[in-house]
Structure 1
Amino acid sequence: MRKVVFISFIISLFLFPEQIRAQVADSSFVLKEQDYLELVLANHPLAKKAENLVEYGEFSVLAAKGGFDPYLFSKNKQKYYENKNYYLLSNSGVSLPTRLGISVQAGYDWNEGEYINPENNLPETGLWYAGISVPVLQGLLFDENREALQKAFVDRKYYENEAQLLLNNVLLEASNYYWTWVQKQYQKSIIEEAYAFAETNFKNYKTAYEQGDKPAIDTLEAYIQLQNFSVQRQQLSNELESARLTLFTYLWEESISPLEEQSLRAPSFENISINHLDSLRTNLPLFVEDHPELRKYDLKINKLQVENRMKREKLKPKLDLSYNILQTPSTSFSEIRGLDNYNWGLSFSFPLFLRSERGALKMNNIKLENTNYEYQQKRLSIKNKARQYEFAFKNITDQLNTYESVVTQYKRLLKAELRKFEIGESSIFLINYRQQSLVSAEMKLIELKAKYNMYYRQWLHSLGAKPELWMAQ
């Protein structure tokens, strides 16, 4: 009778492990990957860094636009010696650079003194002036300010792209740690069940040996099995704790302080939606063309093209024309004389050999050509890497399906062995062997399930998928 009860307990322990797991886990909180990744994106310091990168790009554009800000100026120069005012020269005004290359300016001149140069003689009330300055050749179509602004627009996209790359790397690393934690928790559960089985087995054999029903060798065999599972349980306890602590390094509160540790439970494993998998395969060319790593080269090429345009502009002669109308201060429109009074200026310069300018342009062309080569190589590399992870994911999916069948068959073998033992046609050696084989298969199955999810995330990462795709199942 004792033997029948013993065997019935062993069978129930192995055939209904889910009920035991549910009873143990009721007091803990289930942490789903989607909730976990949302917390990472919301509060992790590196996610905050990504937000700052986007803002940095916006401020770089703001700084470049400063090249077109109007500015006030005032120049004053006086010489006073031995109670004599030799001269006092004063020039104040406002200048407005424009995106057309033309500068508009207006101001007021007022000079006085006993020894002032004739060219600086002005009416007692001074002179108002207003006019423009035009770079007729070099600088008319493109100049340093417009170059800086266009490069800032490229930089803004660059920092947005860097933010996405940073988020993708954070998501991949966080996801890998998450599934490592899930794997260790499930494997720990399997070993706990196996240990409980071996412990009960040993106690029953020990009692049977003391009552003279079983030989001592059976008790020793049961004890060795118990010790083996005890070692595995201790090892997995350490690995699970390490995985749990690593998981919490990615969990932060809004105040940028680490989230308080709490009891967490892994969710059940679920298969990825076929629609999502088909979408990844079908849209591979689109993912490649829009990949953040590839966009880095696009933006680098755009920036070099802007620099090229500026260097070509430097090949032109400098010919700057300025023109200002002059007017004495007046409160009556009838006294305004229109264009009768003015000053103008013309300046010209041109290096005869243009060696510096031509050399800089040639070097920039080589940079541009080399970047195009790098772009083509990176494009092929991204495409092949994505296909590698697609193949790896398909391969792990096939292995997973196979091992699910293997575990089912090992359960049948153990169940059959227990039935044979019940009628006296088996031994503790065979039962331990069947149990060890089943535990190894279950551990491998959990490892494959974790890899299944990891490989899917690595596939997403290789495609440069945006964060919203990481949340979809």
Structure 2
Amino acid sequence: MKKLVGILFLLIVNVATAQTDTVYLALEEVLEMARSNHPLLAQARLQSDLADAQLRTARGTLDPKIESSYQLKNFKDKTYYDKFYNALKIPVWFPIDPKVEVYRNEGSYLNPESYVSSATDHWQVTAGVSLPVGKGLFIDERRMLIKQAKIYGSLAEAEQIKLANKALFTIIKSYWDWYLASEKLKLAISAQELAADIYDRVLTDYEYGEAAVVDTVQALITFQTRQADYTKAQLDWNQTRLALSIHLWGAEGIPLELSELAFPVPNQTFGVVPSDTSVQRLVSWATENHPEVIKLAGKSRQLDVEQSWNKESLKPEINLSYSLIDAPFSQDGISTPKWDENYKLGMDFSFPLLLRKERGKLQKTRVYKEQVELDLQLTRKAVENQILAEYNELLTLQTLRTQYQLMSQNYQRLYQAEIINLENGESDLFKLNIQQNKLLEANIKYLEAYVKFEKQKVQLPYTAGLPDLSYLQVYE
């Protein structure tokens, strides 16, 4: 048995396969690559383009518009009418709509109100405005749409942060899963090599009569167990490697695959652990700036705008219009207008007597508004409680990581002591295998606690909705 002592000092802690062409990949490198090329992050950035398109569409209601029409009727060699109409309408933010109209009307049976004197070659120009003095004076549908589209910009930004954070968080979790599988694979390789050497040594001792046959069986079982552990660890490592490869993209959308020679950087850390006072500051920030809070608050503001328009719709519709004829624009140029001569004046009035449609819309808007406000209250409280819960779990995992690390170190001491006992003839292979198993279990528990802690450090800013999962937004 003394011949085993040399090989047993090849401890199964932090032993990696020796490959000169091994490549180490850090988490920050993966994230940097993802920020530049990942399709999900590119998709998140499209939210701002969508908001711009929404605002441009709404502002299109204020675009100037040209209208034209031409009508001609000839019957039995007689021109009944020949009418041409062209207008330029210029909507503005305030409820005054300027309009310039050009007519050319002639014909034997032309409607008298459409008659234009032949002195101007049947051409006539009018310039005027229309003004709503009832419904639409303070807000109309086009101003409502533009205001809501501007608010939509903040909603789109919040959605962009939400989508980007989700993608980054998924990538980070995949990396740490790969890290854990890689470290377990290293342990499995080391344990298998150690078990194989022990088995060979025991066989040699048996041949020289220094070991019993039961020792060879025990060593063989241990070796077979380590082989099975390695096979499982190899499978887990390959699965996590492929899962991380999904998030690796090169320029121009070229998917990349993580090489089998690539390993995560050992003993790296990512993220920080805030203090108690910092967490309270984080809670205050998140209850106002979390993407879900911003989206609900924006929806509430949109409903405020819609409610203002619904209230405005309860008023009677009264539209006044005034147009000068052949002034200040005419076929001869620009002339000084005479406001009391050559003009058209109009008024339109309409009012639904029961207002059931308008009152129904206002009632629905108020109900939606109340629902959103209740959702906003619940979301803020949920965000606060979840942040505090995630922070408590983070502190607990930090403690567990330290405890499991100390346990692993103590099991290492026990394992080394068992080797010394074996050298002095005070132990046997059975007891040694027990200490090996306990040491392996302790190392794996430490690795799992370490990875859970690293994941939780990112879970906290993700729960708080921090852009790019960075605390700089709160503590800069």
Contact 2:203–2:216 (Cα < 8 Å) also in 1: yes
Inter-partner Cα distance in structure 2 for 1:4 and 1:449: 36
Whether 1:359 aligns to 2:338 is: no
Inter-partner Cα distance in structure 2 for 1:268 and 1:280: 29
Inter-partner Cα distance in structure 1 for 2:333 and 2:368: 61
- Aligned-partner residue type, residue 372 of structure 1: E
Instruction: State the partner residue of 1:157.
Output: 154
- Aligned-partner residue type, residue 255 of structure 1: E
Instruction: State the partner residue of 1:217.
Output: 214
SS where residue 64 of structure 1 aligns? helix
Instruction: State the partner residue of 1:301.
Output: 300
Contact 1:308–1:364 (Cα < 8 Å) also in 2: yes
Instruction: State the partner residue of 1:36.
Output: 30
Deviation at 1:9, TM superposition (A): 2.8
Deviation at 1:274, TM superposition (A): 5.6
Deviations 1:175-207 (A, max 9, x none): 111110000000110111111111111110110
Deviation at 1:44, TM superposition (A): 1.4
1:89 to 69, 83, 87: 83
- Aligned-partner residue type, residue 119 of structure 1: E
Distance 1:250 1:471, change over 3 A: farther
Inter-partner Cα distance in structure 2 for 1:49 and 1:439: 44
Distance 1:281 1:187, change over 3 A: farther
Instruction: State the partner residue of 2:437.
Output: 436
Deviation at 1:435, TM superposition (A): 0.5
Instruction: State the partner residue of 2:64.
Output: 70
Inter-partner Cα distance in structure 1 for 2:275 and 2:28: 17
Deviations 1:196-240 (A, max 9, x none): 111111110110001111111111111111111110110010011
- Aligned-partner residue type, residue 269 of structure 1: N
Instruction: State the partner residue of 2:427.
Output: 426
1:176 to 169, 173, 178: 173
When the two structures are superposed, what TM-score results if normalisation uses the length of structure 1?
A: 0.94
SS where residue 424 of structure 1 aligns? coil
Taking the TM superposition and a 5 Å limit, the aligned residue runs for 1:140-155 are: 140-155=137-152
CA RMSD, Structure 1 to Structure 2 (Å): 1.9
Deviation at 1:338, TM superposition (A): 3.2
Whether 1:135 aligns to 2:132 is: yes
Taking the TM superposition and a 5 Å limit, the aligned residue runs for 1:278-427 are: 279-327=278-326, 329-331=330-332, 336-339=336-339, 340-427=341-428
- Aligned-partner residue type, residue 470 of structure 2: L
Instruction: State the partner residue of 2:94.
Output: 100
Q: Name which of structure 1's ranges 224-233 and 275-284 shifts more when overlaid on structure 2.
A: 275-284
- Aligned-partner residue type, residue 71 of structure 1: K
Distance 1:33 1:290, change over 3 A: same
2:5 to 4, 7, 11: 7
Q: Name which of structure 1's ranges 281-290 and 167-176 shifts more when overlaid on structure 2.
A: 281-290
Inter-partner Cα distance in structure 2 for 1:288 and 1:206: 68
Distance 1:159 1:332, change over 3 A: closer
Contact 2:165–2:469 (Cα < 8 Å) also in 1: no
Distance 1:388 1:337, change over 3 A: closer
Contact 2:81–2:107 (Cα < 8 Å) also in 1: yes
SS where residue 18 of structure 2 aligns? helix
Runs (5+) with no aligned partner, structure 2: none
Contact 1:330–1:336 (Cα < 8 Å) also in 2: no
Contact 1:37–1:471 (Cα < 8 Å) also in 2: no
SS where residue 78 of structure 1 aligns? strand
SS where residue 98 of structure 1 aligns? coil
Whether 1:111 aligns to 2:105 is: yes
Deviation at 1:470, TM superposition (A): 7.8
Inter-partner Cα distance in structure 2 for 1:177 and 1:444: 19
Deviation at 1:451, TM superposition (A): 0.6
Deviations 1:318-368 (A, max 9, x none): 0001111111734365x6553221111101111112111111101110111
Distance 1:168 1:381, change over 3 A: same
SS where residue 251 of structure 2 aligns? coil
Deviations 1:57-88 (A, max 9, x none): 11110111110000111122222111110111
Q: How many residue pairs were aligned?
A: 465
- Aligned-partner residue type, residue 189 of structure 1: K
Deviation at 1:282, TM superposition (A): 3.7
Taking the TM superposition and a 5 Å limit, the aligned residue runs for 1:242-261 are: 242-261=239-258
Contact 1:327–1:336 (Cα < 8 Å) also in 2: no
2:53 to 36, 51, 59: 59
Inter-partner Cα distance in structure 1 for 2:212 and 2:421: 18
- Aligned-partner residue type, residue 183 of structure 1: L
1:195 to 192, 197, 209: 192
Inter-partner Cα distance in structure 2 for 1:59 and 1:248: 34
Contact 1:25–1:265 (Cα < 8 Å) also in 2: no
Inter-partner Cα distance in structure 2 for 1:351 and 1:443: 76
2:267 to 266, 269, 273: 269
Inter-partner Cα distance in structure 2 for 1:332 and 1:182: 81
Inter-partner Cα distance in structure 1 for 2:158 and 2:75: 64
Inter-partner Cα distance in structure 1 for 2:453 and 2:272: 14
Deviation at 1:25, TM superposition (A): 4.9
- Aligned-partner residue type, residue 338 of structure 1: K
Contact 2:144–2:305 (Cα < 8 Å) also in 1: yes
SS where residue 90 of structure 2 aligns? strand
